[in-house]
Structure 1
Amino acid sequence: MNRLELTGLTVRPAQVWGGVRLVPLVRASPVEGLRLHREVYEGMGAGIVELGPRERYLSYIPHGLVADWSGGGGPAAGAGG
């Protein structure tokens, strides 16, 4: 798998937490070699994107999970905490 493939996904019941709604998308079988790692962003986690002379937006992302499926295929150590 070299890119994010959306075919074969099934929608599961949504989970709501305050103003946030998460809709899980699942596959019948897991993606081989998929690994998630934690990414902590520097500073306050805020970023400004300039779209044009008077167009911009601000995003707040203090941390996230980054997906990697480079295809090593071997076992990987779990992240504990």
Structure 2
Amino acid sequence: MLSADMAIDLGTANTLVYVKGKGIVLNEPSVVAIADNNGKKQVLAVGEEAKMMLGRTPGNIQAIRPLRDGVIADFEIAEEMIK
């Protein structure tokens, strides 16, 4: 059974994923776009695609940065971002 050693750096600006032997395999903005449909939240985009939505979304869609000042500000959205 093989296992890959990896590390995730949840940064306020960017999220990095490092895999041993391969280096950094993911470097994306720490942003998640969420649609609020009658109280039910749905993830629309993560990373660069969500960052492009900042300030350009209709009222029911929010581009959220789940990390602020070096700490996780929204655990549920941070979990969705990692998925």
TM-score when scaled to structure 1? 0.24
Q: Which has the higher helix share?
A: 2
TM-score when scaled to structure 2? 0.24
Q: Which has the higher contact order (CA 8 A, sep 6+)?
A: 1
Structure of higher CA gyration radius: 1
Q: Which has the higher strand share?
A: 2
